[in-house]
Amino acid sequence: WQKIEAEGLDCDYAQLFSKEEADNLFQKLEEELVYATGEEATVQVFGKVYSIPRKQATYGDAGLTYTYSGITRMACPWTPTLEDIRDAVTRTTGQTFNFVVVNRYKDGLDHMGEHRDDERELDPLCPIASVSLGAARDFVFRHRDARGKMSGRRMEPVKLELAHGSFLLMNPPTNTFWYHSLPVRKRISRPRINLTFRRVQRCLDRSTMAVHSDRYGEPASQS
Ligand SMILES: O=C(O)CCC(=O)C(=O)O
Ligand SMILES: [Fe+2]
């Protein structure tokens, strides 16, 4: 295990699967997973609709939904491979998860803009567990007070590479103080699948849900 720490940032990183296991899981997920299309493959930013620069799917326990960037996603029922990975993550962390967000990046042009996973329906005490399969990609954390020209503080971003078969545990309060992104990397031609296991609380009053506007994918720094 590798501990990744900064002020308000607390993560653990490890190689969870061997290359053979990870190859096998990637292949099975390519066969099993169905990605969102239509309105579910879009985000809304200040009322404008954008398609996301990657493919996305949500799986989890029956009846769970998850709202971000103005769109409510229904959980599809767990697939056998997602259950296997979820159970491996639970054995490693001692935490249970009822939901997973899947992101598939077809190559280095697909990316995810800077955001926090701070939706109201997430259990704030539960870490977010991120499993990466396929092409290794850079992952960047930036402190909320060190974003943009007018930022009050100079704090170095925290950068790491998420390898094939790797596991990143983002512990509280990381998601309160740090934004994260998966920047464009033009030289990468192979696909990557990322799974973020979460604990979602049921039946939140809609009026208490945060509406998010910063996840649609830009700006992304270039390699
Ligand atoms: O692909 C990744 O590693 C990041 C995914 C992510 O941040 C998210 O799903 O919220
Ligand atoms: Fe995220």
How many angstroms is it from 101 CA to the middle of ligand 2? 9
pLDDT at 131: 98
pLDDT at 66: 84
pLDDT at 223: 35
Q: Is 50 among the annotated ligand-binding positions?
A: no
CATH number for 129: 2.60.120.590
Report the number of distinct structural domains present in the chain: 1
pLDDT at 46: 81
Per DSSP, the residues of 63-90 read T-EEEETTEEEEPBPPPHHHHHHHHHHH
Q: Which of 101, 100, 60 is nearest to 77 (CA)?
A: 60
Distance CA 91, CA 85 (A): 10
pLDDT averages per 10-residue partition of the chain, 223 residues = 96 98 98 88 80 92 84 91 98 96 97 89 90 98 86 87 98 95 98 96 53 40 37
Q: Give a yes or no: residue 184 inside a domain.
A: yes
pLDDT at 18: 98
Q: Is 115 among the annotated ligand-binding positions?
A: yes
**Helix (H), strand (E) at residue 132:** strand 128-134
Q: Which of 125, 107, 118, 104 is nearest to 56 (CA)?
A: 104
CB 189 within 8 A of CB 97: no
How many angstroms is it from 92 CA to the middle of ligand 2? 20
Domain around 20 = 2-198
What is the interface pTM, i.e. ipTM, of the complex? 0.99
Tell me which residues have their CB closer than 6 angstroms to ligand 1. 101, 103, 112, 117, 130, 139, 162, 180, 182, 194, 196
pLDDT at 97: 96
Ligand having the closest approach to the CA of 140: 1
Q: Give a yes or no: residue 218 inside a domain.
A: no
